[in-house]
Structure 1
Amino acid sequence: MATGLDGKCALVTGVSGSGQVGVAVAQALADLGASLAISARNRANVEARAAELRSRDARVLALPADLTNEQQVNEAIDRMVREYGRIDILVNLAGGLTRYKPAVEHSLDDWQHEMNNNLLSSFLCSRAGFVRMRDSGGGTIINFARAGLPQANMVAYNCAKAGIEALTRTFALEGRDVGIRVNAVAPGLVDTESNIAAMKPKDLKHWAKRDDVAQAVAFLASDASAGVTGQVLAVTGWGV
């Protein structure tokens, strides 16, 4: 039976840790019929996640790469295109909060680290993916912003995620005439294994579920959102 993404080829970045959003996103796209490529810096983790997804009947190509490195990004996407013949969907999930301290204590290295992991990686992947989608007639790019107002002690991360929204809208404007839609998902607190371990919540009733985030991505990747571009979709569970 045909499903929503049959024949489509999707690259999901940041698929590294078990119990994280990346695996849920990749599985949701595979369940709709997409062939997958997944990427993150750690080779062992990427290959382990690929094996897990294959065990659930997904077609998966593992692409270990440093996504802050221009050459490695281009090589990874070129390999995907050689393997599958195309890239139709790009999900820029790589990144995350790693520097948590008052703004005046952020070093230049802290700033550059958060900017590179969150904003530079999304730019490099979007630029490379956009060119290949344009040449093949169109596609969809989905970035990851953040929901809610900026929080204290994460100035570099806040600024990087604000940059993601600008990146999304700029690529969306430039994609209008070449059939490329560009949107972002903005999660609130999500029930990832790492978040639960770090924050030890008493309950999760106000948190978004990984599968909720994955279904939002699947919606933006599919023809169900054919009229949607340049938008940021908040996924906050009940924590509005």
Structure 2
Amino acid sequence: MSAPSSTGRFAGKVLVVTGAAQGIGRAVALRAAREGGHVVLVDRADFIANVAAETEGASAVAYNADLEHYDGAAAAMRFATSTFGGIDILINNVGGAIRMRPYEAFEPQQIDDEIRRSLMPTLYCCHAVVPHLLERGAGTIVNVSSNATRGIYRVPYSAAKGGVNAITQSLAMELANRNIRVVATAPGGTEAPPRRIPRNAAGDTANETAWMAEVVGQVKQSSFMKRYSTVDEQVAPILFLASDEASYITGNVLPVAGGDLG
């Protein structure tokens, strides 16, 4: 499935897309720019500037920030506002399991690392963006969660994504009367291009490689469609929820996992 050509759906809108250097985040940012948005691509990877350049004349800029720390999240939102005059849409895409292993095999620091990777950037960015959305008088936050709130060999990651779902629902209730929507998608397994930055910089042990194979099998078996999605199949619902087409949707976590609700 190929992404559609520009529709102008985000014309005049300022979008901040985090985790935009690779995978789903990259594809979201590039398509939002094609659809007329002013896009700030945020990532701690140095090559984020190269991704922004791929928009070929669209209104897109890159910003380097480590969103596992609050200062990075706040700085990214200030940059977006100073560059484009405000923020309309935040798409929180940072996260991803670092290791796959039975829970009893996780070390305490590894548990902390998973929570910091997959919960804190969303928690921090939501907090940092709200004042900017309130100043705008409206806005939308789309959190990219996961259907892996139920899955094997990644309990800390599952806990982090359960937290993302809770942020989505609670913040949506809190902000609905202030014209701000908060929604999420819960992707299942996704076939993405090889990562330029590995999820686990230390590399996988032989056991972790075997456990990963079991995870892949479980994910495919749990899906009604018995397959991984394409990146485009994840991008489309994210940008639908971000758009005015979803103006009466808030507080929802939309599973995008071939029938597996997580």
When the two structures are superposed, what TM-score results if normalisation uses the length of structure 1? 0.89
- 1:99·1:154 contact (CA, 8 Å) conserved in 2? yes
Match of 2:184, SS state, is strand
Match of 1:77, SS state, is helix
- CA deviation vs aligned residue, 1:91-145 (integer Å, no higher than 9, x gap): 0001111022121121221111111111111011011111110121010000011
Change (3 A) 1:81 1:163: same
- 2:147·2:260 contact (CA, 8 Å) conserved in 1? no
- 1:142·1:220 contact (CA, 8 Å) conserved in 2? yes
- 1:206·1:239 contact (CA, 8 Å) conserved in 2? no
1:2, distance to aligned residue in structure 2 (A): 7.5
Equivalent residue in structure 1 for 2:28, among 10, 14, 25:
25
Q: Which residue of 2 aligns with 1:48?
A: 50
- 1:207·1:238 contact (CA, 8 Å) conserved in 2? no
1:70, distance to aligned residue in structure 2 (A): 1.1
- 1:28·1:215 contact (CA, 8 Å) conserved in 2? no
1:21, distance to aligned residue in structure 2 (A): 0.9
* Partner amino acid, structure 1, of 2:28: V
Match of 1:115, SS state, is helix
- 1:8·1:34 contact (CA, 8 Å) conserved in 2? yes
Moved more, 142-151 or 129-138: 142-151
1:46-125 correspondence to structure 2 within 5 Å: 46-53=48-55, 55=56, 57-125=57-125
Q: Which residue of 2 aligns with 1:5?
A: 10
2:226 and 2:147 map into 1 onto residues whose CA distance is 17
* Partner amino acid, structure 1, of 2:95: G
2:21 and 2:96 map into 1 onto residues whose CA distance is 12
Q: Which residue of 2 aligns with 1:15?
A: 20
Change (3 A) 1:77 1:104: same
- 1:80·1:86 contact (CA, 8 Å) conserved in 2? yes
* Partner amino acid, structure 2, of 1:38: L
Greater than 3 Å deviation, 4+ residue runs: 197-201, 237-240
Change (3 A) 1:174 1:238: closer
Which residues of structure 2 form unaligned runs of 5+? 1-5, 199-208
What's the RMSD between the two structures over aligned residues? Answer: 2.5
Equivalent residue in structure 1 for 2:242, among 204, 217, 221:
221
Which residues of structure 1 form unaligned runs of 5+? none
Match of 1:75, SS state, is helix
Moved more, 138-147 or 21-30: 21-30
- 1:168·1:184 contact (CA, 8 Å) conserved in 2? yes
- 1:208·1:238 contact (CA, 8 Å) conserved in 2? no
When the two structures are superposed, what TM-score results if normalisation uses the length of structure 2? 0.82
* Partner amino acid, structure 1, of 2:14: C
How many residue pairs get aligned? The number is: 234
Q: Which residue of 1 aligns with 2:256?
A: 235
Q: Which residue of 1 aligns with 2:42?
A: 39
Match of 1:91, SS state, is strand
1:125-164 correspondence to structure 2 within 5 Å: 125-147=125-147, 150-164=150-164
1:37 and 1:45 map into 2 onto residues whose CA distance is 14
2:111 and 2:148 map into 1 onto residues whose CA distance is 21
Match of 1:193, SS state, is coil
- 1:205·1:238 contact (CA, 8 Å) conserved in 2? no
1:202-213 correspondence to structure 2 within 5 Å: 206-213=227-234
Change (3 A) 1:137 1:32: same
